[in-house]
Amino acid sequence: MSAVTRQYKLLNFFSFYLCGLVDTIYPNLCRGCGNSLATADNKICLSCLSTLPLTNYHTQPGNELEIKLQGRFIFDRIFSYVRFTKGGVVQQLIHSFKYRGEKDIAIFFGEEVGSIISNAKWNTTPPDYIVPVPLHWKRFRERGYNQAHQFAIGMHAKCNIEVKPDLLVRNVYQESQTKRDRFGRFESASGVFSLNTTEDLQGMHILVVDDVLTTGSTIEACVDAFKGIDNLTISVCTIASA
């Protein structure tokens, strides 16, 4: 490990508290591995980019995510951009925007997905709106931004599908992942999310987006908020799936 890399990793730790500091001081280092970047415009080095475990699920109706969630709710398509691997570069990048304030990485993933979404195979027409899974206001206050919304902003920049960040509201504040795992998951009940619009969504195709899909219970709770709307189509897209 080079001295600069070691210094970067140490700084990364402190940036948990001082969001964005690393980016300000070391804008030329890869957020995936900490190695030097060819240009300051890039956020991730070519080596990390080439090892991203792309799923290509968007072109595969009937992919394993869709099989996993089959029967839980009715959907048009479900896909993730990359596979989540513990200890891998994807985990490092997700931690960067989830715990270190580096929201530009969520935007980066959004731009990547926004660029390839025209190749997605929809069973119906393409989505009318992108709806990020909202954070509870307390979590939003803690993090300062919603990473799913940042992901959606990146997507919009490339595919131009309108983003509706306030369409859903999260009513339930969730404890941290560790606490939740210890006491069991509870986010499957209805009422966790509610609709916050007077707009007629009948006949629309909504693409719900989030950072990581694990059990699918968060997405299922989101979909529950749309119940009762006639002829509504739901699709789901996440950065990673585990």
Residues that bind Zn ion (CB under 5 A): 30, 32-33, 45, 48
The nearest distance, CB 50 to Zn ion, in angstroms, is 10
The nearest distance, CB 51 to Zn ion, in angstroms, is 8
CA dihedral angle for residue 78, residue 83, residue 85, residue 88, rounded to 10 degrees = -140
4 or 33: CB nearest Zn ion: 33
The nearest distance, CB 32 to Zn ion, in angstroms, is 4
The nearest distance, CB 25 to Zn ion, in angstroms, is 18
- Vertex 146 angle, CA 76 and 201, to 5°: 40
How far, in Å, CA of 231 to CA of 221, rounded?
A: 19
48 or 225: CB nearest Zn ion: 48
33 or 232: CB nearest Zn ion: 33
45 or 107: CB nearest Zn ion: 45
33 or 242: CB nearest Zn ion: 33
The nearest distance, CB 178 to Zn ion, in angstroms, is 27
Confirm if 39 and 25 have CB atoms less than 8 A apart: no
43 or 58: CB nearest Zn ion: 43
How far, in Å, CA of 49 to CA of 38, rounded?
A: 13
Three-state SS letters, 148-215: HHHHHHHHHHHHCCEECCCCEEECCCCCCHHHHHHHCCCCCCCCCEEECCCCCCCCCEEEEEEEEECC
The nearest distance, CB 37 to Zn ion, in angstroms, is 8
How far, in Å, CA of 17 to CA of 99, rounded?
A: 9
Confirm if 45 and 32 have CB atoms less than 8 A apart: yes
